[in-house]
Structure 1
Amino acid sequence: DIDAHTHHYITTGLKENKFGIDLRMLDNAVAKATNMANIKLCGLHFHIGSQITTMEPFVLLCKKINQLLAKFQSEGINITQVNVGGGLGIDYEHPDENPFAPFKPYFDTFRQNLDSGKISLVHFELGRSVVAQCGTLISRVLYVKQGVNKKFVIIDAGMNDLLRPALYGAHHNIENISNTDSTAVERYDVVGPICESSDTFATDELLPITQRGDLIAIRSAGAYGETMASTYNMRTLTPYVIV
C-alpha cells in the first residue's frame, strides 16, 4: 500500500492492484509457508510500481520493509533476502540531456534507509532504467494529412511496434531527423497507419516542417518496445539494427 505517484496502469503496490499479498493477509501466508515441509521461507519480494521519478516512494518502501523485517525477527522467522523490485524511471522528454537514470540517488536511498543488518542479499530489478534510452524507433512519413483543424503526420510505425502511447497515454520525445531546422516548426498529430484511433504517438507535437519521406525518430524505445510488439493487423515485426 505505497503510492508510487505514477500512471495508474503501472502502479502495482496499492490495495486495489492485482499484485502481491495484502499486508492484512501476510501473516496467514507466512504461517502456511513456515509449516510446509518442502518450503523454505527465506525472503520477501516487493514491487510498488514503474516509471517512478522521485525517491519518496522508495523511502516509504524501505520503512515498510524495515517494519516487516523487525516483526518477523521478533517472531523467530529469519528473513535473509529482500527483493525491492524496480521502478526507477527515466527522462522520456529529454533523452539527450538525461541519458542515464538517477542511479546514485536511487541506490543511496536504499543504502541510507534500508535496515540491511540481517539481510545477506538484496535484489534490484532495474529493467527500463538500464535499457530504455538505448533504443530508438525509426519510422518514415507516409503522408501529411491536412485535417479541418490540425495536420496529421502519418508514419509507417504503429501501435503494434511501440504500444506505450496507446496503452498508457505515454509520451516519447519525437524528432524529425531528416529536417532538423527548428526555426520553422508546425504542430502535428503524429499517428500510425493502423485502423485504431488509439494508434497515436503524440498530439499537437511541435516539429520542423515535415513532409512525405522524412525519417522520424521516436526516442527511449529500448524498454517496452520490442518486448511488447505484436503482428497486429498482419503487420510484420520491426527489424532492428545494433549500433
Structure 2
Amino acid sequence: MSNYFPAEKFKSIPTPFYFYDMGLLEQTLQKVKSESDKYNFVVHYAIKANANDRILERIREYGMGVDCVSGFEVKKALDMGFPAQGIVFAGVGKADWEIEMGIDNNIACFNVESTAELDVINEIATRKNQKVKVAMRINPNVKANTHKYITTGLDENKFGIHQMDVEKTVDAITKMDFINLEGIHFHIGSQIMDLSSFSALCERVNEIQDWFEEKGIALKTINVGGGLGIDYNKPAENPIPDFENYFRIFSEGIKLRPGQEIHFELGRSVVGQCGNLISKVLYVKEGVKTNFAIIDGGMTDLIRPALYQAYHKIENITSNGSEEKYDVVGPICESSDSFGKDIELPKTSRGDLMAIRSAGAYGEVMVSRYNLREEPKAYYSDQL
C-alpha cells in the first residue's frame, strides 16, 4: 500500500482518472528555473507533453515560453496567456492556416524543416507583407540511445534538414525577402537518460556554427530542443530529473558567440513525474500460466505501453497482501491493451486501486475515445 496517494479520498472518485501532484510540479519548475537561470538559458515548454489547463497555468507563472508542433497548440498557448514572443513553432507538416496563424500573431520563430516549407512560409509572408523569423532545424545525425519511435536526430528520420542540404537551404533563404534567419534548431530525440548524447550534440552544434561563421552568417539563437528523460523505474526515488548536469553540459559544451542565446524545449522532464493514472481492478482472472488483473483504465487513457511498449511502474495502492505476479491489462478490445506482464504486486482483488506512475507526459494529452469511452477526468493534490 502506498503512502504517496490519498487512497481513501480516491475511493469516492469514479475511475479511471488522472491525478496530478501539484507540489512535485512546483518543485520541478523551481529546479528548472534555478538551474537554467544560472546560464541565462531560455526554456520553452513542449506543450505536446501535457496541455492540461492547470499544468499550463503553473508553467506560465514561471515565465517559460512554449514549443508548439501544431496550429492548435499555438492557439492553446495564446488562449492560456503565454506571450506570442515566447512561442516557437516546429513540425514537419505545417498547413497554410497554421503558418498564417503564427504570422498573424507574430510568434517568436518558426523552426523550419525543409526548403519546401520555407517556400510556403515566404509566399504567405510576402502576401501579408510581414517579415518572419525562422530557425533551420538541422539533422545532426546524433544517436540518442532511446526508442526508435522517439529518436529524431539520425539521417533516416523524417525530421530536420540534412546537413548536406544546409548550404542549399541557406542560399534559398538569402533570396527570400520576407524571411529572417534567426538561428539553428536541433532535437535528437526523447527520453534520453545517457547525458553523453547531449555532449555529442554540443560537438556537432559547434561544428555547424563554425560553418555559418565562415559564411559570415550571424546566428542569434541556438535551439538544442529537449529530450531529457525521467526515471520510469524509480519515480519515487528520482522524482526530478538531473537538470543541474543537463544544463551544465550545454553551458560548458557549446561555444557561444557574443549576443547569442541557447534555447531549450523541455516537455516530459517538466511534467512526466507529477501525473499518474488511477484505475480500479474490475476482475482478477486466473489464466493457465499467469493471473490477469483487469483494470478499468485502458490504452485509450494511457497509450504509451501499447504504442511504444513503454514501461510504467504500477502500484496497488489499497492492498497490504503478500506479493504475487500479475499481467495488468485494460478492457479495450485489443490484445495490445496491456500495461505490464509479470508485475509483482500485493495480492490484488476486485475493487483495489492501481496507480500507473509517471504518466504526466504523453498521458492525458494522447487520450482517445476508441470504443466510445469517455475521457478520464483530472484531479489535483491541492484540491483533494
Fold conserved between structures, TM > 0.5: yes
Unaligned runs of 5+ in 2: 1-140
Helix, strand or coil at the partner of 1:91 = coil
Instruction: Report how far residue 19 of structure 1 moved.
Output: 0.5
TM-score, structure 2 as length reference: 0.62
Residue 36 (structure 1) aligned with residue 176 (structure 2): yes
Whole-Å separation in 2 of the counterparts to 1:220 and 1:119 = 38
Q: How has the CA–CA distance of structure 1 residues 113 and 46 changed in structure 2, closer, same or farther, with 3 Å as cutoff?
A: same
Residue 131 (structure 1) aligned with residue 271 (structure 2): yes
**In the alignment, what sits opposite 1:93?**
233
Whole-Å separation in 2 of the counterparts to 1:179 and 1:116 = 54
Q: Which has the higher contact order (CA 8 A, sep 6+)?
A: 2
Given candidates 364, 372, 375, the residue that maps to 1:226 is 364
Instruction: Report how far residue 117 of structure 1 moved.
Output: 2.5
Asked if the contact 2:298/2:337 (under 8 Å) is kept, the reply is yes
Unaligned runs of 5+ in 1: none
Bigger share in strand: 2
Instruction: Report how far residue 68 of structure 1 moved.
Output: 0.8
User: Map of 1:84-163 to 2, 5 A cutoff?
Assistant: 84-118=224-258, 120-163=260-303
Q: Where in structure 1 do 4 or more consecutive aligned residues deviate above 3 Å?
A: none
Count residues in correspondence: 241
Asked if the contact 2:282/2:296 (under 8 Å) is kept, the reply is yes
Given candidates 187, 194, 200, the residue that maps to 1:60 is 200
Helix, strand or coil at the partner of 1:40 = strand
Bigger share in helix: 2
Whole-Å separation in 1 of the counterparts to 2:346 and 2:170 = 59
Asked if the contact 2:320/2:347 (under 8 Å) is kept, the reply is no
Residue 216 (structure 1) aligned with residue 354 (structure 2): yes
**In the alignment, what sits opposite 1:193?**
331
Asked if the contact 2:219/2:260 (under 8 Å) is kept, the reply is no
**In the alignment, what sits opposite 2:374?**
236
Instruction: Report how far residue 180 of structure 1 moved.
Output: 3.7
Identity over the aligned pairs, expressed in percent? 55
Helix, strand or coil at the partner of 2:325 = strand
TM-score, structure 1 as length reference: 0.97
CA RMSD of aligned residues (A): 0.9
User: Map of 1:12-23 to 2, 5 A cutoff?
Assistant: 12-23=152-163
Q: How has the CA–CA distance of structure 1 residues 141 and 61 changed in structure 2, closer, same or farther, with 3 Å as cutoff?
A: same
